[in-house]
Chains A and B, each alone.
Chain A
Amino acid sequence: MTDTPVPLKRTPLRDVHAAAGAKMVPFGGWDMPVQYTGIIEEHRCVRSAVGLFDISHMGEFEVRGPGALAAVQTLTTNDASTLAIGQVQYSLLCYPEGGIVDDLTLYRLAEDHYMLTVNASNIDKDWAWVTEGGRGGGWTNVSAETGLLAVQGPKAEALVQRLADRDVTRVLYYQFAQGAVAGVPCLISRTGYTGEDGFELYAPAAQLETLWHALMGAGKGDGIQPIGLGARDTLRLEMKFALYGNDIDETTNPLEAGLGWVVKPAKGEFIGRAAIEAMRAAGVTRKLVGFEMAERAVARHGYRLLKAGDPVGVVTSGSFSPSLERCIGMGYVRADLAPVGAELDVDIRGQAHRARVAKTPFVPSHAKKT
């Protein structure tokens, strides 16, 4: 029996990317641009100027009605009751055993109205999970009609402000405003996954191309470039931001992943709470750390971490860091080897290459927090 190939899903900008010379690759079931001019150049553009990302492949679910907050509180680990309208929260969906279903951002849109932004590769799984019988709330999957662009970099604020119909400089990190950008109705969210200041702009899929071209045009003098998934990955790795499927998944729990800060047991019952509390009491046996290689050797997902030749962990992400011009990575190691400075080896094609647990983020964040 042969598998029937499933056609890749396309964002509203798929043809725009191809016309711009992007190299397209399959990613989580989507046909996505991995790079336009080159990962290193695009990475540096975001760190030094401004870059534009199509991240429409990500999923958006809305929940509204009198049961909305209770539904969100049951499903997610962070305390959604602390969110005011106009605020965003990073949070997790967990299984009862404490493994991670997905990581997400939660938006409080109105009194009884929330939006969850989830990973592209997890949309179907997450939708089944949040709507499973008896969870409460009225859910809508708006992924298909919602486009999403990220504008990231030190020149992002000024660029978005030039096109926006309101003062976006007052929107601080993890806050959002509703407004128009280049005449397109947007949810203007001061979030992103690069460590730079910037915005994520949610807009109707049908008007996304208008928004894309307006930003590319208005950002010309700033040196704006379209940025592919390759640089998105190196940018988030320099911040030690976890990527679902690489660094976190159903076999990892929030405490060992360093995401204990988004688990709030004091808020009351939620799925996974008991298991995570038990783990917290017992202490975790492994931790997700960042490490730097001593030489130019790239540690990749799945490579073994060693201590004196013995396996002590596994690499979950690794790359050359364009900002540091060194090779960096993330991985789970035995808890006693997690402190900064601990010496490890990475097994790269049968040879041990020296690495050292590093302080993270690897580069400072420039998110506008005040």
Chain B
Amino acid sequence: MANVPGELRYTKEHEWAKLEGDKARVGITAFAQEQLGDVVFVELPKVGAKITAMKTFGVVESVKAVSDLFAPLSGEVVEINAELPKKPEVVNADPYGQGWMIVIKLSNAKEWDGLMPAGDYGKLIAAAGH
């Protein structure tokens, strides 16, 4: 059974978001890292960057492929995971933990309600063959 933590919300592009007060922590899902294979490079925005929901905010590269990262929520980037450029493989090892990517200060908290709860996301990836 795929690893889909219940307390998180998800995008159809396979990012997760975790609400932390007026901020959200963001990464990619276990399903996403499994599909990508070995992650070798993560390109993240700078702290202070303004990002928009459903627009790209960075790039993740595996040995085989380049994939855009899509912002689940709009706001300002207030923290980035500075370990990832040095250790991109933690995205594979711990996608919901040490493999987190950015923290966003939300500009529109209502967007949270538009994200997929775990049950819906679980169905989405089950339909994708897993």
Q: Which residues does A use to contact B, with CB under 8 Å?
A: 23, 34-35, 38-40, 230, 233-234, 296-298, 300, 319-320, 322, 327, 349
Contacts and interface: CB of A to CB of B under 8 A. Distances in A.
Main SS of the interface on chain A?
A: mixed
Contacts of B85: 296
Given A234-B63, A296-B85, A320-B40, 16 more contacts: A23-B37, A35-B37, A38-B37, A38-B92, A39-B62, A39-B63, A39-B64, A40-B38, A230-B63, A233-B64, A298-B40, A320-B41, A320-B63, A322-B63, A327-B40, A349-B59
Contacts of B64: 34, 39, 230, 233, 319
21 contacts: A38-B92, A39-B38, A39-B63, A39-B64, A230-B63, A230-B64, A233-B64, A296-B40, A296-B85, A296-B88, A297-B41, A298-B40, A298-B41, A298-B66, A300-B66, A319-B64, A320-B40, A320-B63, A322-B63, A327-B41, A349-B59
Contacts of A297: 41
A230 B40 contact: no
Contacts of A38: 37-38, 92
Interface of B: 37-38, 40-41, 43, 59, 61-64, 66, 85, 88, 92
Contacts of B88: 296
Contacts of B63: 39-40, 230, 234, 319-320, 322
- Residue among A234, A297, A320, A349 with max Cβ neighbours from chain B (10 Å): A320
Nearest to A298: B61
Contacts of B62: 39
A233 B61 CA distance: 16
A298 B41 CA distance: 8
Contact of B37 (A230, A296, A349): A230
B116 to A, nearest CB: 24
Among A39, A298, A319, A322, chain B packs the most CB atoms within 10 A around the CB of A298
Contacts of B66: 298, 300
Nearest to B64: A230
A212 B75 CA distance: 54
Closest 8 pairs between A and B when the two form their complex, measured CB to CB: A320-B40, A39-B63, A40-B38, A298-B61, A296-B41, A38-B38, A39-B38, A320-B63
